[in-house]
Amino acid sequence: MRRALVTGAAGQIGTELVQALRAELGSDRILATDLREPDADHPVVAGGPFQRLDCTDGDAMTRVTGSFGPDVVFHLAAILSAVGEAHPEKAYAVNMGGLVQVLEAARTNGYAVFTPSSIAAFGPGTPPDPTPQDTIQRPNTMYGVTKVAGELLCDYYHHRFGVDTRGLRYPGLISYSAPPGGGTTDYAVEIFHAALENGSYSCFLAPETQLDMMYMPDAVRAAMELMEADPTRLRHRNAFNITAMQLTPAQLAQALQARIPGFAVTYDPDPVRQAIADSWPRRLDDSAAREEWDWAPAYGLDEMVDDMLAHLGHPHTVDVPSG
Ligand code: NAD
Ligand code: SER
């Protein structure tokens, strides 16, 4: 990888991926793009080239990638699960309409494409714990439908047109730089801010709802490592299961309460997001990623919580017992 363009770069993943790519390859070799133009002091704008780009505009996608000349496009622009259930037609238009334009422009301009899939690509008929790499994929959300269709479309462009497409099924992602964009796992970010700012949090999922989660540095590294992986080792492409930790709201609350005495958490499940979460896996089997490109996460629950709190400015006040 020598030169990369990122769509949806102002979002939760893009904000950190762009900074990591610039640190690795040099600022002028990374073009950050998004439908919305963030403020001038936003890191993706302040740290290097930024251009407004609607991923569903095929002419613009071909023109911008043609003139910048990336060898990899990280296609992050999408509508996430909860917003997608509120606006399913918009989720379809952006998630499918954007991806097909990125793939079509790849045929013309010859770049590789990274596309995130999600735990949302599975549904209630999938074995939930552990969820195999190759298994039933019958999601019941529009977001999930676009993720499964996107995986198939990426595989199709690879075998039919030779486009180097690769993807990851991300779990819920926890990060401090940018807010999450309207998903079902957003509680795991909100709870940190609530703990530090209000001392209390009302969680929109039930306390025992177990989902796969990952800290953003692992998610960013996984994307970069996958795009550097030896293609002759890849039996799967779109998309690899990856995971780092399995969490319930109650476990995350407990980890925060051990570090922030007095933090109070209540539960008021939102029916839409609870139903989405209940349809998703409890634990992904990531053995294909481990075997085919040596995937390994670095952050578990305690490392993630400590690092999040340090970046959000919280001085640790108590020693947390290990184990
Ligand atoms: P996000 O909502 O934070 O960011 C998405 C960005 O896309 C936003 O900045 C938005 O302005 C932009 N966008 C929307 N429509 C656009 C368009 N037409 N053209 C260009 N940009 C447009 O999302 P994220 O969390 O950064 O997710 C990025 C990708 O990773 C998505 O495909 C998402 O499904 C996937 N993913 C995310 C998570 C997670 O927990 N964050 C988990 C699994 C998969
Ligand atoms: N974190 C994402 C969401 O909740 C999963 O893809 O929508």
Tell me whether residue 128 is in a domain.
Answer: yes
C-alpha–C-alpha distance, residues 173 and 86, integer Å: 21
Per-residue model confidence as pLDDT tens digits over 254-305? 999 999 999 999 999 999 999 999 999 999 999 999 999 999 999 999 999 9
**Catalytic residue numbers?**
143
Predicted TM-score (pTM) of the model is 0.96
How far away, in angstroms, is 226 Cα from ligand 1 center? 19
Q: Based on the domain organization, do 226 and 249 belong to the same domain?
A: no
The DSSP element (H or E) to which 264 belongs, if any, is strand 264-267
Q: Based on the domain organization, do 120 and 230 belong to the same domain?
A: yes
CATH number for the domain harbouring residue 258: 3.90.25.10
Q: Based on the domain organization, do 248 and 222 belong to the same domain?
A: no
Q: Based on the domain organization, do 36 and 122 belong to the same domain?
A: yes
Q: How many CB atoms lie within 10 A of CB 95?
A: 25
Q: Which DSSP string do the residues of 4-46 spell out, in sequence order?
A: EEEESTTSHHHHHHHHHHHHHH-GGGEEEEESS---TTSHHHH
Per-residue model confidence as pLDDT tens digits over 193-238? 999 999 999 999 999 999 999 999 999 999 999 999 999 999 999 9
C-alpha–C-alpha distance, residues 313 and 197, integer Å: 11
Q: Based on the domain organization, do 50 and 160 belong to the same domain?
A: yes
> 66 by DSSP, 3-state: which?
helix
Q: What is the mean pLDDT of the segment spanning 67-93?
A: 97
By most ligand atoms within 8 Å of CB, the mutation choice from 5, 12, 96 for ligand 1 is 12
Amino acid letter for position 240: F
CATH number for the domain harbouring residue 155: 3.40.50.720
Give ligand 1 pocket residues (Cβ under 6 A): 7-8, 10-14, 34-36, 54-56, 76-78, 80, 94, 98, 116, 118, 170, 172-173, 180-181, 183, 185
Identify the domain containing residue 141 by its residue range. Answer: 4-171+216-241
Q: Based on the domain organization, do 126 and 248 belong to the same domain?
A: no
Per-residue model confidence as pLDDT tens digits over 291-317? 999 999 999 999 999 999 999 988 654
Tell me whether residue 286 is in a domain.
Answer: no
Amino acid letter for position 70: P
Tell me whether residue 317 is in a domain.
Answer: no
How far away, in angstroms, is 63 Cα from ligand 2 center? 31
Number of domains the chain is built from: 2
Output the residue whose Cα is nearest ligand 1's atom 8: 11
Q: Is the peptide bond before 195 cis (omega within 30 degrees of 0)?
A: no
Atom of ligand 2 nearest to the CA of 84: 7
